Amino acid sequence: MIAHILPKSSVCTPLSCATVQSVRLRPTAVSFQWRELPTRSKHTLSSKWFTSPASQSVRSTLFTSPSRVQRFGSPRGSCSTLSMSDLDITSLEGLKQRITDCNKGLSILEDFKPFLVEGKHVGAMPPQFAQHLERFPTVFNVQEAAISLQAELNSVEARTEAVAGVLEQLKEEGVISGWRDEMYPVLESFHAPPLLCIERAAAKLFGIKAYGVHVNGIVTVEGPDGVKREELWVGRRSPSKQTWPGKLDHIVAGGQPHGLSPKDNVVKECAEEAGIPAELALKAQPAGAISYQTASYEKGLSRDVLFCYDIHLPADFVPVPQDGEVSEFMRWPMNKVASTMSNTTDFKPNVCVVIIDMMIRRGHLSPEQDGYLDILSNLRVGDCS
């Protein structure tokens, strides 16, 4: 759908002047209010800017005032005005650091061995782990340039079974820890057919691309001043969790297993982790994805893509821990969430990236803040495919 927002002769851009004929919008009933902004530069922006990836998250805030933001695209096309959070952050450096925390060690990737299946580059293994695979020549072909599977393993089932036997032995030897009994597909991109499946605990050691779902549990509350503001449900991970014990987390999050759609996975995780009934979980709206890469010789390579969802929960709904993975849930004002992320490492690192993305999309962070574009450009450092 093309929405003509200006006549051909009109002149205005976010920072300066240019002719804008149309902006491509989602086919959803929305309302739009044009606001003139002062000219700050003599340079014009190419029309390609409006369709570039960096512009997608920025456009919704560039044409609104710094103090209020319009929320568009509700199911019935209605519009409500929310107060933009007055985040008590004097600098975005802390939030930028949280993103950097998820993109570390990339300089050592030149030492990792590419992992190939049917000639497709689907992973990268740290050299120490690659040495373990040399003991299994009937399954792995370990060469100086790359690691592949033996040619006679020519089906998904045959590869999965053969590799599973190797991983079971390495688990018994203590080479692989944190066993989950959950299979992850090995593939080039999310919608590509799987080439084999491996145990989730080995995903980083193989350096395969892994996917997950993270849900922002948002509640709109009206203050004594009559202004509506957004709050976020925050979970605290159980102290007995194998990974990131005691860290702050989303209300719902989980890895994306093989054979389940992201939407169905959200519904499943909502029930298992927070007691959110299916009829409420189905209202979670997909809101894009973030990606990052982290490498270490000991743990391997994380190449994660996280599908982001927003779910607007009733003010009287209280999530309840179900499966022992979360010790408590807390509902925090956005200001407290942002301040905690900026000044501490209390949140699980990748959770910060998803929340920062949400804060940009929903206008809690704005282009007027120094470092805004640095943050925006680093939300999808990894291969988001």
Which value, in Å, is the radius of gyration of the alpha carbons in the chain? 23
336 pLDDT above the threshold of 80: yes
Residues 6+ apart with CB under 8 A from 287: 216, 308, 309, 310, 357, 358, 361
User: Whole-prediction pTM value?
Assistant: 0.77
Q: Are 275 and 353 in contact (CB under 8 A)?
A: no
Task: Quote the Cα angle for 249-347-176, to 5°.
Answer: 75
3-state helix/strand/coil string of 56-76: HHHHHHHCCCCCEEEECCCCC
- Pair of tokens at residue 219: 């509640």
Q: What is the pLDDT of residues 141-155, one digit of tens each?
A: 999 999 999 999 999
| Angstrom distance (rounded) from CA 249 to CA 352 | 9
Q: What is the pLDDT of residues 290-303, one digit of tens each?
A: 999 999 999 999 99
Going from the C-alpha of 47 to that of each of 19, 20, 54, 167, the distances in angstroms are 8, 7, 13, 51
Task: Work out the average pLDDT over 299-321.
Answer: 97
Assign 5 a pLDDT band (cuts: 50, 70, 90).
very low
Quick one: DSSP state of residue 322? -
